[in-house]
């Protein structure tokens, strides 16, 4: 009862904040376009002002936005949902409420409603409602990391998938999941990550009660009798069971859930459709074009600094393998001395990376401005040109030099099935501090699990990583 009351209070507070954000969004749009509004603004009561000819429309818009936001589960603190997906639900809710508002304008025959105010209000609503949810996530994450409302987790199955799940949970402290231990019928020794094997599956009721378990994850697939027994025991204790789909690590694409009558179906889709690839390419082109135009003065400044710092060209051009093994010229701002490739042979023995990649922290070939560019990945900026040309993507596998790829094995073939990216999982999970084996592993995982929201999440996470200069040299 207390839990439900707390949830209702949180839901009310979230909705109230949304109302405030929507109110200020509409006011900001009206303030900017006062000349077409037709009446003077009187803040903060302009939506209640009897002189406001569009008062009822604004009220309809606010109420329908709250309705659709609630319908899209935006008034819940769902830590496991990606930030990009929550923002998409914001956009979806505002789009739905805007359509209802347009219908209301038509039915009420309000012919002089300013279109610019409508568009600006919708834009400000998306920005404000998305921004406060980003702030909310940071506040919740801070509280959770501090120990607020954490959950005790029991993992059934101490195999490869179970250990991988531990790694992913440990990387996300904001989820508030405290791993108590494993249950496994075949392993008894303790595993890495200081997680204990607490017992066998038959010990589940006792251990769940003794350790005050809140959430259970099943990562291994036994026969139906064992599985159904676990479900029944968990139900009796009021615990929800979360199941990792069998073979998830061997399949690519997406996992869909639907029903045929009363039967739930999980569909493993291994094919990235042409429509999705077209959408990814369209997003890459539009976003990189905006970046190129807005950042052009900054690029010119970097070019001047490079020329003043050392003799040589502004750009460093490197041959790389692109999609389907097609060779292209990748552009970077020059961060090394002019004859860097010739000096490479003399210092190859100092390589600090495993595999075919060559990297050292104190590279003598680096120029003064080059060290700064490398630290904050500014040398990668000209690759926007490669994205515009269709040779690269904003997000994708790391583009390795030809000679490095030719030294590797068949694992590279799958990496060459998509366009390489300016950023990717390798960028947000360590950059140059990760091993070559992990780099390839993450690239393959990205290809197998690609989605638009994964790209958005990687792009959002790239910004703080680059600003911190972590793992870059």
Per DSSP, 336 falls in state: B
Q: In this structure, are residues 118 and 192 in contact, taking their beta carbons and an 8 Å threshold? A: no
Residues composing the chain: 473
| Beta pairing, strands 263-269 & 254-260 | antiparallel
pLDDT in tens, 416-436: 778 889 988 877 876 555 666
Q: In this structure, are residues 419 and 391 in contact, taking their beta carbons and an 8 Å threshold? A: yes
Report which listed range, 72-86, 103-117, 387-401, 449-463, is most confident: 387-401
> What is this structure's pTM?
0.52
Q: In this structure, are residues 285 and 352 in contact, taking their beta carbons and an 8 Å threshold? A: no
Q: Which helix (H) or strand (E) covers residue 318, if one does?
A: strand 315-321
Q: In this structure, are residues 458 and 422 in contact, taking their beta carbons and an 8 Å threshold? A: no
pLDDT in tens, 248-307: 655 555 566 667 776 777 766 554 555 567 778 888 998 899 889 888 888 999 999 998
CATH topology of domain 151-244: Rossmann fold (3.40.50)
Is residue 78 pLDDT above 80, yes or no? no
Q: pLDDT above 90 covers what percent of the chain?
A: 13
Q: Which residue has the higher pLDDT, 1 or 374?
A: 374
Is residue 454 pLDDT above 90, yes or no? no
Alpha-carbon span 113 to 466, nearest angstrom: 44
Q: pLDDT above 70 covers what percent of the chain?
A: 78
Long-range contacts, 327-332 (Cβ 8 Å, 24+): 327/402, 328/386, 328/389, 328/391, 328/392, 330/383, 330/386, 330/391, 330/392, 330/399, 331/382, 331/383, 331/385, 331/386, 332/379, 332/380, 332/382, 332/383
Alpha-carbon span 304 to 334, nearest angstrom: 12
CB atoms within 10 A of CB 44: 10
Alpha-carbon span 93 to 61, nearest angstrom: 11
Domain ranges of the chain: 2-145, 151-244, 274-468
Nearest to 98 by CA among 82, 81, 117, 83: 117
Alpha-carbon span 387 to 251, nearest angstrom: 28
């Amino acid at each position: 009862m207390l839990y439900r009351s707390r949830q209702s209070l949180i839901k009310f507070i979230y909705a109230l904040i949304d109302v405030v954000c929507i109110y200020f969004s509409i006011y900001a749009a009206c303030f900017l376009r006062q000349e077409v509004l037709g009446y003077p603004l009187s803040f903060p009561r302009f939506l209640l002002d009897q002189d406001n000819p569009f008062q009822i429309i604004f009220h309809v818009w606010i109420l329908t936005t709250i309705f659709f936001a609630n319908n899209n589960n935006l008034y819940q603190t769902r830590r496991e949902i990606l930030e990009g997906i929550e923002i998409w639900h914001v956009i979806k809710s505002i789009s739905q409420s805007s359509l209802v508002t347009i219908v209301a304008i038509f039915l009420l025959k309000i012919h002089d409603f300013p279109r610019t105010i409508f568009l600006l209000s919708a834009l400000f609503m998306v920005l404000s409602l998305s921004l406060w949810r980003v702030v909310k996530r940071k506040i919740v994450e801070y509280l959770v990391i501090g120990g607020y409302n954490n959950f005790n987790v029991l993992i059934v199955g101490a195999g490869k998938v179970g250990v991988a799940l531990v790694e992913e949970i440990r990387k996300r402290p904001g989820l508030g999941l405290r791993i108590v231990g494993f249950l496994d019928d075949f392993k008894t020794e303790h595993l890495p990550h200081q997680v204990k094997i607490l017992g066998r599956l038959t010990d589940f009721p006792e251990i769940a009660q003794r350790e005050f378990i809140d959430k259970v994850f099943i990562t291994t697939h036994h026969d139906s009798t064992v599985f159904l027994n676990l479900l029944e025991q968990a139900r009796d204790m009021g615990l929800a069971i979360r199941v990792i789909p069998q073979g998830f690590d061997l399949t690519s694409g997406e996992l869909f859930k639907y029903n045929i009558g009363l039967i739930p179906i999980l569909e493993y889709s291994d094919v990235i459709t042409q429509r999705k690839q077209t959408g990814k390419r369209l997003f890459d082109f539009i976003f990189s074009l905006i970046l190129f135009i807005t950042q052009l003065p900054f690029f010119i400044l970097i070019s001047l600094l490079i020329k003043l710092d050392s003799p040589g060209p502004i750009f460093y051009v490197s041959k790389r393998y692109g999609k389907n093994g097609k060779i292209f010229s990748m552009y970077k701002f020059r961060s090394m001395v002019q004859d860097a490739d010739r000096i490479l042979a003399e210092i190859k023995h100092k390589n600090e990376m495993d595999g075919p990649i060559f990297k050292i922290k104190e590279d003598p070939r680096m120029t003064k401005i080059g060290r700064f560019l490398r630290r904050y990945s500014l040398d990668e900026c000209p690759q926007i040109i490669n994205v515009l040309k269709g040779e690269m993507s904003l997000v994708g596998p790391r583009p390795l030099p030809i000679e490095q790829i030719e030294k590797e094995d068949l694992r590279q073939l799958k990496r060459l099935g998509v366009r390489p990216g300016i950023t990717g999982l390798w960028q947000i999970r360590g950059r140059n501090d990760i091993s070559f084996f992990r780099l390839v592993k993450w690239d393959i995982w990205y290809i197998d699990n690609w989605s638009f929201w994964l790209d958005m999440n990687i792009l959002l996470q790239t910004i703080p990583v680059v600003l911190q200069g972590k793992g870059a040299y």
